[in-house]
Chain A
């Protein structure tokens, strides 16, 4: 079973700051997904990356898939209180079920 490690586990920052969260594994993934989960809700998909070195942007969020397809990062520019939530990475390996990381709990203070 592949293990996905996310770091940091917790992050508390002020509005306007930038941040990066990481998702790492020793395994190679066929694709990787990032979800955001708000309190009282289920996770919502933000992006799927499938190609090594791929970079995708979603407004102030930038997602990168490592060249070797073993790691990924999520960078948020000028964080806002609405970005507060639990960020989860999930990996799929050749059609197998999704495996989730432990998550990064982000709090953005106004």
Chain B
């Protein structure tokens, strides 16, 4: 049973639309992540928030804009996307590691939002 929920589960949007993806975690974690999973590439880390502050932005185009208003919620705002942005967008959360690192502790993933850009 996942403690990370994502809405919507499916989204179809035109290139001129603005939409937002929402992620909520009920696990008491203090780090949250956005990943992109497309058919022909490995899972790609997009953004990381630690204690509600962005600590990683992996050269993601500005048409993706994350927001983390509190430790339980994470948003990904989308505008003027391209067809190649069609993918599964996954949110994850974790505790920070004992040394403050991210990878050592288990990341719990949500079910993802399947995005199609027409």
Query: Which residues of A are in contact with B by a Cβ distance under 8 Å?
Result: 4, 30-31, 33, 40-45, 48, 88, 90-103
Contact = CB atoms under 8 A, between A and B. Distances in A.
A95 B45 CA distance: 15
B72 to A, nearest CB: 17
A38 to B, nearest CB: 10
A42 B48 CA distance: 17
Contacts, number: 68
Given A42-B4, A42-B112, A4 B42 contact: yes
Given A42-B2, A42-B4, A103-B42, A96 B101 contact: yes
Interface in B72-112: 90-92, 97, 99-104, 106-112
B4 A95 contact: no
Nearest to A29: B103
Given A97-B45, A100-B42, A45 B103 contact: no
Contacts of A4: 42
Interface of B (DSSP majority class): loop
Contacts of A95: 97, 99-104
A100 to B, nearest CB: 4
B101 A94 contact: yes
B27 interface: no
A92 B101 contact: yes
B11 interface: no
Contacts of B97: 95
Contacts of A31: 103-104
A31 B98 CA distance: 14
Contact of A42 (B41, B44, B90, B100): B90
Nearest to B40: A102
B56 to A, nearest CB: 6
Contacts of A90: 43, 103
Given A95-B102, A95-B103, A97-B103, A88 B111 contact: no
A40 B101 contact: no
Contacts of A97: 45, 48, 56, 102-103
7 contacts: A31-B103, A42-B109, A90-B43, A92-B102, A93-B103, A95-B103, A102-B42
